[in-house]
Amino acid sequence: MQIRTVGVVGAGQMGNGIAHVFALAGYDVLLTDVSAEALDAARATIEKNLERQVSRGKVNGDDRDAALARIRTTMTLADLGPSDLIIEAATERETVKQAIFEDLGPHLGPDTILASNTSSISITRLASRTDRPERFMGVHFMNPVPVMQLVELIRGIATSPETYATLHELVEKIGKTASSSEDFPAFIVNRILIPMINEAIYTLYEGVGNVASIDRALKLGANHPMGPLELADFIGLDTCLAIMNVLHDGLADTKYRPCPLLVKYVEAGWLGRKTRRGFYDYT
């Protein structure tokens, strides 16, 4: 199947990045969110990130302008219905994602493929709530989307080989590299990455190190581009906690117990960069 139009649900850091890369690769993008402010902020972020790519010589001015012209926004979810592909990139809560797919249901074109950018939730379960589990897949981008090379592809139990082939080819067409994961809690990247971050938070909680020493240790001692606490703030502490809970519930193993300090920070509303406070202060 040929994909020409891509609908993106959710204009947060993942959604605006996904809109950015598809528009830059020549696809018409329709981006939706529940608030006009979120859509305005997303457009401003996309402009800023494209400008950054222009200033580094990665993108030329004409391509930047063409990409921006290909992105339309709407607050009406139903407008996305006729898209060839719809990627849901809403908050990492199963009830929210299910509600979006249910609301989209009556408006979908017969051949529309549905995808979720979920970083941990069962694709099989999300797909089972739609009328097209064979045309449903997990397509998991990494943050920051314009920079990170990987896209995880996750087949639900009913995903058809045609849907997988279409989306695998699409990932290559937008210049990314696909990696397949089976449909188990948090897939591959987050099964490994988020427990590492959780362990870093335990290291802080138990006083083994402080924020600076823990991050310095992994940056200089293991060549990570960001320390684990800096990365947690970058991902969002609420997202890290949501993924740990999916691992803990789904695999029923105490080794995935979320660190109490992570829980406390989320309860305080200290979610990292997006709230200007997490393990670091961004004010």
Residue nearest to ligand CAA (CB): 119
The nearer residue to ligand CAA, 83 or 119, going by C-beta atoms, is 119
* Smallest distance, ligand CAA to C-beta of residue 266, A: 15
Element (H, E) at 141: strand 136-141
The nearer residue to ligand CAA, 80 or 231, going by C-beta atoms, is 231
- 3 state SS of 178: strand
* Residue 103 tokens, joined: 């609301």
Q: Which of 88, 122, 140, 198 is catalytic?
A: 140
Taking CB under 6 A as the binding criterion, the range among 53-61, 80-88, 154-162, 204-212 that sits at the site for ligand CAA is 53-61
How far is it, in rounded angstroms, from Cα 49 to Cα 39? 15
The candidate with the shortest Cα–Cα distance to 267, out of 237, 243, 227, is 237
Distances (CA, A) of 171 to 52, 99, 109, 151, 219: 23, 26, 22, 7, 30
For residue 180, which phi and psi values (nearest 5 degrees)? -90, 140
* Smallest distance, ligand CAA to C-beta of residue 211, A: 17
190 is catalytic: yes
The nearer residue to ligand CAA, 23 or 108, going by C-beta atoms, is 23
Which residues between 236 and 275 bind ligand CAA (CB under 6 A)? 239
- Residues, the chain: 283
How far is it, in rounded angstroms, from Cα 63 to Cα 255? 47
* Smallest distance, ligand CAA to C-beta of residue 33, A: 18
Candidates 5, 16, 32, 53; binder of ligand CAA (CB under 6 A) is 53
Which residues between 180 and 199 bind ligand CAA (CB under 6 A)? 189-190, 193
How far is it, in rounded angstroms, from Cα 282 to Cα 271? 11
How far is it, in rounded angstroms, from Cα 231 to Cα 272? 9
How far is it, in rounded angstroms, from Cα 242 to Cα 28? 32
* Smallest distance, ligand CAA to C-beta of residue 59, A: 9
Is residue 105 within 8 Å of residue 125, measured between CB atoms? no
224 is catalytic: no
140 is catalytic: yes
Instruction: Give the burial string for 27-53 (b: 16+ CB within 10 Å, else e).
Output: bbbbbbbeeeebbeebbebbeebbeeb
Taking CB under 6 A as the binding criterion, the range among 49-57, 197-205, 212-220, 257-265 that sits at the site for ligand CAA is 49-57
Residue 137 annotated as lining a ligand binding site = no
49 contributes a contact to ligand CAA by CB under 6 A = yes
Candidates 56, 149, 281, 283; binder of ligand CAA (CB under 6 A) is 56
What Rg, from alpha-carbon coordinates, does the chain have? 19
Which residues between 137 and 156 bind ligand CAA (CB under 6 A)? 142-144, 146-148
Candidates 108, 231, 246, 266; binder of ligand CAA (CB under 6 A) is 231
For residue 28, which phi and psi values (nearest 5 degrees)? -80, 130
Instruction: Point out the residues that are catalytic.
Output: 119, 140, 152, 190
Residues that bind ligand CAA (CB under 6 A): 49, 52-53, 56, 58, 119, 142-144, 146-148, 189-190, 193, 225-226, 231, 235, 239
Residue numbering of the annotated binding site for NAD(+): 10-15, 33, 92, 97, 119, 143, 274
